């Protein structure tokens, strides 16, 4: 009798959830005070279903869409190419407010409705297990049972409404979307299935889950975000219906979870498609797969690679929490994915995730799988970062928020853009050097602009787009206040070498773009720079010029030219601040300004183009983050590889050649900062090493700070007549004086007076 009582007492109040949430999770969530606002909103959503759904989609009453859904990327205005907005059954163009209907537009709304229905099953199921209120389970059953009836009647159709193709599905128009629809649906079903009759359960599992599994298994997409979603849905179905073959296929099969961990995550952490949008789109199913495996008791040591996926965006992020919108990606805000960092903190206990995890407290997923308590952590300043395999470099300085992101990695598959060596930049709280990111894939400008070379901040040759190529890292130097990179574009233009060198400092970024045709013939080289804002400078853009109507050039509006033979500067402003572009003139050069397309088709983005006809040439530019007025008065090149930057009281000398690099920043004739690499000796610093080093002289000359990796070797002589203190990476080191010189790390310092 006692054991029966005990057994009854341990029975859950409601159903027994299993694969994404178990009894312990339910108890934890109920006991967790911080989770209650999220739970309250969840209950509200459950109470408001289906009224909210009916109102949102302008329906008379709740019903499943009777037809198969369409492709989300087809939801664009046929006239303006802009994404439509669904408002109570209307599909409105954001430009002129026109309401569109018919295939494919209405079918995209079916996609949204199916997605909402699946999410409702999950929410209703959760509300049910957390409250025990039977009406929530009844509502979930209504949706589940409706799909049981509908699912087998829908034809397998694809994005183009072709029947029985491999990528096609039933409820949705592609297996990818079928999978992401299935995951919350199966999750919710798991939460309420104990309240269903055996007949209902068998019906749903047979007509929806097993049927859907056949469709997903028939479209193995290998290395892809698609297959990661397929795996997640197959794992959910396999665990729910007890099909070990599906579970094995999802985890161990060709293209399975373990394969994705090995093949699709680059050794640096970014998803192989080189798009932060797809990176996080893939994080989701991988994370859910890990949570499922954990609850099913399946060991998954391969999931360790997932941690790098969470780390990588933290290394590449701009100061405002946005990520460069390279390849097919929107402007991704890291905060939108904060929930993954809460879940990641629970998985890996990495304190770097805490600041983001803290922003995720109101997300449902945080309550389900995230951390319930977060420690206090001190903020960590971002430093320059290189991901050589992913081909992303982020150039930062500790003095300000000017950041340059350089892209030189693998093409990125079908979502890659032909933009090798492009840069995006950030300054004063906003992105500056721009990338169009992507429009909806059915928008006409997606193929004709977003992917084109001329839409990016790199060089186009002969008005043609680059080929898909993998660039090469040639050099990388990172110091606290400077970073330098040299990269080549690989085979982006067969027969033409493209090499870019960027030197990032607290005051400006030097950009040297070298191009050279192997055939010895003249080519058209278009150096391109797009920056948000408005052109607001001194040049007179008064010469009309015709440009190609192909390869993206047709989207360059109002082009006007100016001579480019003399050195020139031009300002692109966002409000009061912006970027000044300085370029050294070249006899064969003209400069063209105009506007191109940006991420928002209704906001044109200005461009500056330097066009040259040459066999080989170097575009030497300087990007100056501008405050009140620009302070760079002169940017010149007195000799090959030598550059002078002069401003009010400032005289900088830069030397850049492969393997050797120096920047000396002087204010009113006094050295303030020196960056050296590949060079042992200058008049200000004499040493035996050639490793990268930074020297900072304090304003009064009393302190010299050295920054470098590793240890100082041999004698180091610094010209610093007033110096009393030398520090290496912030720590005081031995200092001896000898006239205007200060010696550090001298093997026999005893003969010289200590600095004082």
Q: Which stretch binds Zn ion (CB under 5 A): 91-99, 150-158, 509-517, 601-609?
A: 91-99
Q: Output the smallest distance, CB 317 to Zn ion, in A.
A: 18
Nearer to Zn ion, 417 or 717 (CB): 417
Rounded Cα distance between 482 and 80, Å, is: 43
- Please select the residue that binds Zn ion; options are 311, 363, 365, 435, rule is CB under 5 A: 435
The residue among 296 and 331 lying less far from Zn ion, judged by its C-beta, is 331
**Looking at beta carbons only, is 326 or 507 nearer to Zn ion?**
326
Q: Is 93 in the site for Zn ion (CB under 5 A)?
A: yes
Contact 353, 302 (CB under 8 A): no
Among the residue ranges 76-84, 301-309, 404-412, 655-663, the one whose residues contact Zn ion (CB under 5 A): 76-84
The span of 43-51, 80-88, 480-488, 492-500 binding Zn ion (CB under 5 A) equals 80-88
Of 353 and 418, the one with the shorter C-beta distance to Zn ion is: 418
Rounded distance between C-alpha atoms, residue 470 and residue 461, angstroms? 17
Q: How far is the CB of 196 from Zn ion (least distance, A)?
A: 45
State which residue, 77 or 235, has the beta carbon closest to Zn ion: 77
**Which part of the chain contacts Zn ion (CB under 5 A), choosing from 86-94, 211-219, 508-516, 564-572?**
86-94
Applying CB under 5 A, among 27, 79, 138, 518 the residue interacting with Zn ion is 79
CB of 489 to Zn ion, least distance (A): 15
Find the shortest distance in angstroms from Cβ 79 to Zn ion.
4
Report DSSP state, residue 35. Answer: G
What is the Cα–Cα distance from 358 to 338, expressed in whole angstroms?
8
3-state secondary structure 735-747: CEEECCEEEECCC
Q: Which helix (H) or strand (E) holds 364?
A: helix 364-369
Question: CB under 5 A: which stretch of 71-79, 144-152, 564-572, 736-744 binds Zn ion?
Answer: 71-79
Give the interface size with Zn ion as a residue count (CB under 5 A): 7
Shortest distance (Å) from residue 328 CB to Zn ion: 8
Please name the residue that has the structure tokens 């079908």: 414
Q: How far is the CB of 612 from Zn ion (least distance, A)?
A: 23
Residue 549 CB, nearest distance to Zn ion (Å)?
Answer: 21
- Give the residue with the Cβ less far from Zn ion, 80 or 221: 80
In 67-127, DSSP assigns E strands to 85-87, 90-92
With beta carbons less than 8 A apart as the criterion, state whether 276 and 323 touch: yes
Q: Are 357 and 374 in contact (CB under 8 A)?
A: yes
- SS3 category, 594: strand
- Classify residue 248 as exposed, middle or buried by CB count within 10 Å of its CB (0-12, 13-18, 19+): middle
The DSSP call for residue 553 is G
Q: Which of residues 389-428 bind Zn ion (CB under 5 A)?
A: 417
Pick 95 or 134: Cβ nearer Zn ion? 95
- Please, what is the end-to-end C-alpha distance for the chain in angstroms? 88
Angle, in degrees to the nearest 10, between helices 225-241 and 244-251:
160
- The one segment of 77-85, 169-177, 488-496, 683-691 that binds Zn ion by CB under 5 A: 77-85
Q: Is 633 in the site for Zn ion (CB under 5 A)?
A: no
Binding mask 29-68 for Zn ion (x = CB under 5 A): ----------------------------------------
Q: What is the DSSP string of 465-534?
A: PPPS---EEEEEEEETTEEEEEEE-TTSSTTEEEEEEEEE-SS-EEEEEEEEETT-S-EEEEEEEEBSSE
Q: Tell me whether residue 365 or residue 435 sits nearer to Zn ion (CB atom).
A: 435
Min. distance of Cβ 404 from Zn ion in angstroms?
16
Among 95, 380, 603, 702, binds Zn ion (CB under 5 A): 95
Task: Choose the stretch contacting Zn ion; rule: CB under 5 A; options: 58-66, 93-101, 475-483, 604-612.
Answer: 93-101
Closer to Zn ion by CB, 273 or 435: give it.
Answer: 435
Stretch of 50-58, 79-87, 241-249, 744-752 lying at the interface with Zn ion (CB under 5 A): 79-87
Instruction: Report CA Rg, the chain.
Output: 30
User: Which residues, in sequence order, are CB contacts of 545 under 8 Å at separation 6+?
Assistant: 559, 560, 561, 590, 592
* Residue nearer to Zn ion on the CB measure, 79 or 566: 79
Closest approach, Cβ 488 to Zn ion, in A, equals 19
Q: Mapping DSSP to helix (H, G, I), strand (E, B) and coil, where does residue 129 land?
A: helix
H or E, element range at 670 = strand 670-677
In the complex, least distance from residue 80 CB atom to Zn ion, rounded to whole angstroms: 4
Across 186-196, b (16+ Cβ under 10 Å) vs e yields bbbbbbbbebb
- β-bridge mates for residue 675, sequence order: 663, 694
> Of the two residues 49 and 449, which places its CB atom closer to Zn ion in the complex?
449
Q: Where are the beta strands (DSSP E) in 283-442?
A: 385-387, 392-395, 403-407, 422-427, 430-431
When asked if residue 304 is in the footprint of Zn ion (CB under 5 A), the reply is no
- Which residue has 């193995």 as its token pair? 220
Of positions 28, 80, 563, 724, contacts Zn ion by CB under 5 A: 80
Residue 585, helix vs strand vs coil: coil
- Minimum distance of Zn ion from residue 418's CB (angstroms): 9
Q: Compare residues 290 and 455 and give the one whose CB is closer to Zn ion.
A: 455
Residue 64 has which token pair?
Answer: 């499943």
Q: Near Zn ion by CB under 5 A, which window of 42-50, 95-103, 194-202, 638-646? A: 95-103
Could you tell me the smallest distance in angstroms from the CB atom of residue 274 to Zn ion? 10
Minimum distance from residue 405 beta carbon to Zn ion (Å): 12
Whole-Å CA distances, 586 to 62, 503, 515, 618: 68, 21, 14, 9
Closest to Zn ion by CB, 95 vs 149, is 95
Residue 69 has what DSSP assignment?
-
C-beta atoms surrounding 172 within 10 Å: 29
**Which residues contact Zn ion (rule: CB under 5 A)?**
77, 79-80, 93, 95, 417, 435
């Amino acid at each position: 009798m006692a054991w029966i009582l005990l057994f009854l007492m341990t029975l859950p109040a409601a159903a027994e959830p299993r694969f994404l949430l178990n009894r312990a999770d339910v108890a934890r969530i109920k006991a967790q005070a911080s989770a209650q606002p999220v739970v309250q909103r969840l209950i509200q959503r459950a109470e408001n279903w289906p009224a909210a759904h009916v109102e949102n989609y302008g329906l008379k009453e709740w019903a499943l869409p009777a037809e198969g859904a369409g492709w989300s990327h087809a939801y664009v205005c046929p006239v303006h190419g802009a994404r439509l907005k669904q408002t109570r059954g209307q599909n409105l163009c954001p430009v002129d407010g026109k309401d569109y209907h018919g295939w494919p537009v209405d079918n995209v709304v079916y996609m949204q409705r199916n997605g909402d229905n699946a999410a409702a099953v999950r929410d209703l199921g959760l509300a049910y297990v957390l409250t025990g209120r039977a009406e929530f389970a009844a509502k979930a059953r209504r949706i589940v049972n409706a799909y049981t009836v509908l699912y087998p009647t829908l034809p397998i159709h694809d994005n183009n409404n072709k029947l029985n193709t491999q990528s096609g599905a039933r409820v949705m128009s592609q297996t990818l979307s079928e999978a992401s629809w299935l995951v919350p649906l199966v999750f919710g079903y798991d939460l309420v299935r104990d309240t269903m009759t055996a007949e209902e359960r068998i019906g749903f599992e047979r007509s929806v889950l097993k049927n859907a599994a056949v469709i997903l298994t028939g479209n193995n997409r290998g290395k892809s975000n698609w297959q990661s979603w397929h795996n997640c849905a197959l794992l959910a179905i396999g665990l729910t219906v007890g099909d070990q073959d599906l579970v094995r296929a999802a985890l161990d099969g060709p293209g399975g979870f373990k394969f994705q961990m090995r093949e699709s995550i680059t050794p640096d952490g970014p998803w192989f498609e080189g798009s932060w949008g797809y990176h996080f789109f893939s994080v989701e199913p991988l994370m859910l797969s890990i949570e499922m495996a954990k609850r099913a008791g399946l060991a998954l040591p391969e999931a360790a690679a997932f941690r790098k996926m969470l780390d990588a965006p933290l290394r590449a992020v701009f100061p405002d929490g946005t990520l460069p919108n390279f390849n097919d990606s929107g402007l991704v805000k890291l905060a939108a994915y904060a929930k993954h960092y809460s879940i990641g903190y629970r998985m890996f206990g990495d304190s770097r995730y805490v600041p983001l995890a803290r922003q995720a407290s109101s997300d449902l997923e945080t309550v389900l799988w995230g951390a319930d308590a977060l420690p206090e952590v001190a903020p960590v300043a971002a430093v320059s970062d290189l991901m050589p395999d992913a081909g992303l470099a982020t150039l930062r300085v500790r003095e300000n928020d000017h950041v340059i992101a350089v892209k030189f990695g693998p093409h990125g598959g079908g979502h890659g853009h032909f933009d090798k060596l492009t840069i995006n930049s950030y300054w004063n709280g906003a992105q500056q050097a721009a990338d169009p990111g992507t429009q909806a894939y059915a928008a006409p400008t997606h193929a004709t602009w977003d992917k084109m070379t001329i839409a990016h901040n790199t060089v186009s040759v002969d008005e043609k787009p680059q080929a898909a190529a993998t660039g090469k890292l040639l050099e990388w130097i990172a110091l606290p206040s400077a970073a330098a990179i040299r990269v080549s574009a690989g085979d982006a233009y067969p027969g033409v070498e493209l090499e870019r060198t960027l030197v990032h400092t607290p005051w400006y970024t030097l950009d040297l773009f070298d191009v050279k045709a192997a055939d010895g013939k003249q080519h058209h080289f278009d150096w391109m720079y797009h920056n948000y804002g408005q052109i607001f400078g001194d040049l007179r853009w008064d010469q009309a010029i015709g440009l190609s109507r192909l390869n993206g050039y047709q989207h360059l509006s109002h082009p006007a030219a100016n001579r480019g033979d003399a050195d020139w500067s031009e300002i692109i402003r966002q409000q009061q601040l912006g970027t000044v572009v300085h370029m050294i003139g070249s006899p064969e050069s003209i400069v063209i300004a105009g506007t191109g397309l940006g991420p928002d088709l209704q906001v044109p983005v200005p461009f500056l183009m330097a066009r040259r006809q040459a066999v080989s040439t170097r575009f030497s530019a300087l990007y100056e983050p501008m405050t009140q007025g620009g302070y760079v008065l002169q940017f010149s090149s007195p000799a090959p590889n030598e550059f002078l930057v002069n401003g009010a009281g400032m005289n900088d000398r830069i030397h850049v050649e492969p393997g050797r690099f120096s920047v000396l920043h002087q204010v009113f004739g006094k050295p303030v900062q020196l960056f050296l690499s590949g060079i042992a000796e200058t008049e200000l610093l004499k040493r035996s090493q050639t490793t990268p080093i930074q020297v900072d002289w304090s304003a009064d000359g009393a302190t010299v700070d050295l920054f470098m990796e590793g240890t100082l070797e041999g004698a180091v002589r610094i010209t610093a007549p007033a110096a009393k203190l030398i520090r290496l990476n912030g720590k005081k080191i031995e200092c001896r004086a000898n006239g205007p010189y200060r010696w550090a790390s001298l093997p026999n310092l005893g003969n010289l007076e200590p600095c004082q």
